[in-house]
Amino acid sequence: MSDQQKTPSADQLKVGIAGLGTVGTGVIKIISQQADILRQRTGRDIVIKGVSARDPKKLRDVDLSAFEWFGDPMRLAREADIDIYVELMGGADGIALASVEGALKRGVDVVTANKALMAAHGTRLAQVAEENNAVLAYEAAIAGGIPIVKALREGLAGNGIDRIYGILNGTCNYILTTMEKTGRPFKDVLADAQDQGYAEADPSFDIGGIDAAHKLSVLAALAFGRAVDFDAVYVEGIERIGAEDIAYASEFGYRIKLIGAAKRTAHGIEQRVHPCLVPLDTPIASVDDVYNAVVVEGDAVGQATFEGRGAGEGPTASAVTADIADIARGLRLPTFSIPAAELAPAQASPMEHHEGAYYLRLNVLDKPGVMAAITIILAEAQVSIASIIQRGRSTEEAVPIVILTHETREAVMMAALDKIRAHEAVMEEPHVIRIETF
């Protein structure tokens, strides 16, 4: 029998959970409510032995009386009689990093939902896990209840992956969907998302694209067999998307989505997170509200699409429990499919080499010669125009011009934009959104 599939020697799997927020309590509920099913499917009793959180007196909707309480998660990770340490505290460094590393170094398997931790330290933690014959599992860190890590490591193991992309942040998708349905401005919809619990009080990681970039960098490492390279991800959020952009996109036959995409190029691995115009007839355009979707393009399977809820108690706790169940079965795979020592060095393709089409919205003074000047700038840069919308006439206020270009290089487009924004008739910063045809 291979080292990757070992028959567990004990009938009981002992679990410690650090972090008792929505996801942590959700995991406790699933393990309690589905105990019989988990025993049937794994051949073992999954038992929670210890828990840790900041406030032992906080009211939670689960009974913790049967579990040993650890005020310090480091003690739970390093000293408790557990087989799996479940880290659900969050944060790229500090106690999350120290406790995960401490558990791995003593040979305790780790399950985490912490995408920031994996993006910042995933490669090194994978090495620590393998050096100590431990598992580092992170299905819940990416796309909530969608089993995309399992799909890449197991179901698509026979494929060379050419490209992976998707909607990786439910908050942004909810905001963009609501803006489209209601025509309301970004700030108003964001406030509603915060009221409903879809966005944090400080939503910057979500709306700024950082959360999606964390997830994409880990997916890219897994898909392409490379070291995690979060610093190489080009990141742009949705803060400047206006209701008018969504309306114009619809008129052209597109919807606007925050997309994370990674692919192989001649220059290395391209990783980027930014708003995109996506054609209405593509599957990813129909993914709405808090749902996530991931599309994988493999040389054997072709295109495979995975869709589901990207966050929340149920989906994320389900993914954590799935990792626990795999460990209970004896499944022991390298963190990123291949041994950490064999991960290729990160080789990033600079954003300037990206090739694609662009949406450009300008507010300009409606004077003779302005349109001609803009089209001349684009023509001189060899940027070909696909479509133009120009509406309204005003001698006092700026009017919009919306342009779709044909495919060009990012560096070429950015140089042309520098000249356009310098024109005296352009009254505010141009709104630029990349177009993806998929």
**Is residue 85 helix, strand or coil?**
strand
DSSP codes of every residue in 225-260: TB---GGG-EE--STT--HHHHHHHHHHTEEEEEEE
Cα distances (Å, whole numbers) of residue 184 to 127, 215, 241, 244, 399: 48, 29, 11, 10, 20
Residue 317: count of CB within 10 angstroms of its CB: 25
Tell me the residue ranges of DSSP E strands in 342-392: 355-364, 385-390
Could you give the CA distance from residue 235 to residue 275 in angstroms, rounded to a whole number? 10
Q: Is 187 a catalytic residue?
A: no
Q: In Å, how far are 6, 102, 284, 301 from 295, measured between CA atoms? A: 32, 35, 8, 12
89: closest CA among 112, 56, 62?
112
- Of 49, 115, 150, 215, the catalytic one is 215
Contact 238, 175 (CB under 8 A): yes
Chain-centre distance of CA 128, in angstroms?
Answer: 24
Distance CA 376, CA 380 (A): 6
Give the Cα separation of 401 and 388 in Å (integer): 7
Question: Which two tokens mark 257?
Answer: 């989505």
Which are the catalytic amino acids? Answer: 215
